[in-house]
Structure 1
Amino acid sequence: MSAPLSLDSSLVRWSVPPAERGDRPVLLLLHGYGSDEHDLFGLVPYLPSEFVVASVRAPLAPPWPMPGASWYPIEGLDGRDPDAVTRAARSVLAWVQDVVGDAPVGLLGFSQGGAVALQTLRADPDAVSFAVVLAGYAAGGELPGDAVLAERRPPVFWGRGAADDVIPAHLIDATAQWLPGHSELSGRVHPGLTHSISQDELDDVRAFLDARLADRAAAG
């Protein structure tokens, strides 16, 4: 396994200044292929204000002329190497350890970022409280954290569009088989939705995140 790449902390967009963060829970946004830290940051007004939201930029540059950044290379429909997804996940974990500290962390990722969100949860179940996966999938292979997830079943929301033809069908099928045994799964397939995010899906995400805040309050 290659060493994790570094995430550039100077490129992170935060929803609140440092003085207001304290020990509030952090929601880390992981964008999709060819995008950047500005993309998902537009979701902040739709998310619970109790979270400190941090939107990071992926560490790789996709091949020209594709703009933006990427978490791992994509070469054709089957060119999604699980080891490359794990490398990206370990980059996220290293950034969380260096920057976030002891605050509880949840992940919200779109497409590539969704795959990295799940892989980060798999790589270190102790570092991540939950994951929101939008138009993403679970990478193949096995990780040491899988057995822990099967026992703990952390909350995961998986939302996707019925008209999304970007993620290969075999990855969707594999994810649908893997997630129920490794998480407390919720989510929805939205009719007519393509490889994007709808208002209905955002409403589902908001309800999921509100439930996570309620869980935290109940735990004291």
Structure 2
Amino acid sequence: MSLFYIIREPKIKLEKNPLLLLLHGYGSNEEDLFSFASELPDTYYVVSARAPYDLMYGSYAWYAINFDADENKFSDMNQASQSRDLIANFIDELITKYPIDAQNITLIGFSQGSILSYAVALSYPKKVQRVVAMSGYLNTEMARENFDKNDLSNLKIFASHGTVDQVIPVDWARKVVPALTDLGIPVVYKEYPIGHGVSPQNFYDFKNWLAN
């Protein structure tokens, strides 16, 4: 398998089960989002992937974030593109290895993981049907060229953000609504009075959204 991962198999086995693929944030690891795997619906395969770039013991990144002399932050787009395609390929590997319903795949990303979730879904909309994007933002430069020519009609997005997030400003997250609406993608967007994290209400709301 091209990415290291941990898995919770569905408690209710169907002929083919849906998949929730969890993508952690910068400097974290696969254990982070997996901590709420037991709370996720029983019919899903829950897979949490480890990002490929090693920062230091126990922390990983999907792509490097660098600072220039003026303290401007910028993303390593080459690494982001490689990770985007790695995730798309990893989805195929999971479908081959487990009885996963290829028509029912959801990416759940936090922070850097949610930025990449958008990029994977827009680039490969046949592979992903739903995205839960928490505490991230849409960077279309990370999607494949001409992604807007793809058939995006099957995509649905749940986006959420903390109003006092000091890592990724809430203004960046708010831009996702008009951007996705322009692409014809239905989006539910919610804000919570928290910083860079996932509140219990946020978790409850996206679980509800998944059930619909």
Tell me which interval the TM-score lies in, with the shorter structure as reference length: 0.7 to 0.9
CA drift of 1:83 comes to 4.5
CA drift of 1:172 comes to 3.0
Which of 80-89 and 121-130 deviates more?
A: 80-89
1:61 and 2:61 aligned: no
Ranges in structure 1 where 5+ consecutive residues have no aligned partner: 1-5, 212-220
Task: Quote the Cα distance in structure 2 between the aligned partners of 1:162 and 1:71.
Answer: 25
Ranges in structure 2 where 5+ consecutive residues have no aligned partner: none
What secondary structure, in the 3-state scheme, does the structure 2 residue paired with 1:138 have? Answer: coil
Task: Give the 5 Å matches for 1:48-197.
Answer: 48-62=41-55, 64=56, 67-76=58-67, 77-101=72-96, 103=101, 104-141=104-141, 143=144, 144-148=146-150, 152=153, 154-168=155-169, 171-172=172-173, 174-182=175-183, 183-191=185-193, 193-197=194-198
Larger % of strand: which? 2
Task: Quote the Cα distance in structure 1 between the aligned partners of 2:164 and 2:25.
Answer: 18
Which residue is 1:7 aligned to? 2
Q: How many aligned positions are there?
A: 200
Deviations 1:107-132 (A, max 9, x none): 00000000111111011110101100
What secondary structure, in the 3-state scheme, does the structure 2 residue paired with 1:34 have? Answer: coil
The percent of aligned pairs where both chains have the same amino acid is 25
Task: Give the 5 Å matches for 1:6-45.
Answer: 7-8=2-3, 11-16=4-9, 22-45=15-38
Q: TM-score, normalised by structure 2?
A: 0.83
What secondary structure, in the 3-state scheme, does the structure 2 residue paired with 1:39 have? Answer: helix
Q: Is the 8 A contact 2:158 2:189 kept in 1?
A: yes
Larger % of helix: which? 1
